[in-house]
Amino acid sequence: MKKALITLFAAATMLTAVSTAQAADAASGKGTVNKIDTATATVNISHEAIPSIKWPAMTMDFKVADKKVLSGIKAGQAVTFGLTKEAKTGYVISHIEAAK
Residue 48, pLDDT score: 98
Which residues of the chain carry a pLDDT beneath 70?
1-24
For the chain, which residues make up each domain, given as ranges?
A: 27-98
Q: Both ends of the chain: CA-CA distance in Å?
A: 45
pTM assigned to the model: 0.74
In CATH, the number for domain 27-98 is: 2.40.50.320
Residue 89, pLDDT score: 86
Mean residue pLDDT across the chain? 84
Residue 19, pLDDT score: 38
